[in-house]
Amino acid sequence: MSLNMIEKALYDVSVSRRSAERFKEDTDGFLERYRLSADEVAMLRDADVGAMRALGANPMLTMGFWLIVKGRQEMGEYMKRMRAEKGRADG
């Protein structure tokens, strides 16, 4: 797993409107340039922020990505996923 490339993709989607639009329109095509494994592509496609965090992804990057991809109205779900991941890490 390439944490650096995952974080780069998260950053790009979070700070660039054009990147965010490309990600939403053609996720797999957008992610081709990041040299990600199939599991990493699926993690980003599915917005699996808990799994990203378990790999060590910066929580500010995962949150920014979530806000762009899912929107503010879904922050409750984001927090639920992050708490679930923290529980697995503590368990």
Average pLDDT over residues 8-33: 97
The one-letter code for the residue type at 45 is R
37 neighbors 1 (Cβ within 8 angstroms): yes
As a whole number of angstroms, the distance between CA 41 and CA 44 comes to 5
Other CB atoms within a 10 A radius of the CB of residue 43 amount to 22
Q: Domains of the chain: which residue ranges?
A: 3-90
27-86 pLDDT, tens per residue? 999 999 999 999 999 999 999 999 999 999 999 999 999 999 999 999 999 999 888 876
Domain at 3-90: CATH code: 1.10.700
